[in-house]
């Protein structure tokens, strides 16, 4: 988030897409794409994109709560 002079940065247009694949009954690897496009302002035409891998371990019983999941992701 801009901390100062945010009126010059332009309007942020955010996109988030995630693809998951069920590898086994409990393992779901995923890739997530986060993209920010800027309309107007000093950042216009300069998109930002992040590709994040992740691993979901899930659909198991955890402390009497059915269908629990645990997710791990890395961000750089």
Distance, CA of 50 to chain centre: 8
What are the DSSP calls for 29-71, one per residue? Answer: EEEEEEEEEEESSTTTT--EEEEEEEEEEEEEEETTEEEEEEE
Residue 1 lies in a domain: no
Structure tokens at 63: 């402390």
Tally of domains in the chain: 1
Residue 4 lies in a domain: no
The model's pLDDT over 18-75, given as tens digits with 9 standing for 90+, comes to 999 988 888 889 999 999 888 877 777 888 899 989 888 777 666 776 666 667 666 6
Tokens of 45: 């035409």
pLDDT for position 24: 87
Domain ranges, residue 20: 11-73
Q: What is the DSSP letter of 17?
A: E
- pLDDT of 14 above 80: yes
Higher pLDDT, 72 or 2: 72
pTM of the model: 0.64
> Do the domain assignments include residue 2?
no
27-39, strands of its sheet edge to edge: 11-20, 27-39, 48-62, 65-73
């Amino acid at each position: 988030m801009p901390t100062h002079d945010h009126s010059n940065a332009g309007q942020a247009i955010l996109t988030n897409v995630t693809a998951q694949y069920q590898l086994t009954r409990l393992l779901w690897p995923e890739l997530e794409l986060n993209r920010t496009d800027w309309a107007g302002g000093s950042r216009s035409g300069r998109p930002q994109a992040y590709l994040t891998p992740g691993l979901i371990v899930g659909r198991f019983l955890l402390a009497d709560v059915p269908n629990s999941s645990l997710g791990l992701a890395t961000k750089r």
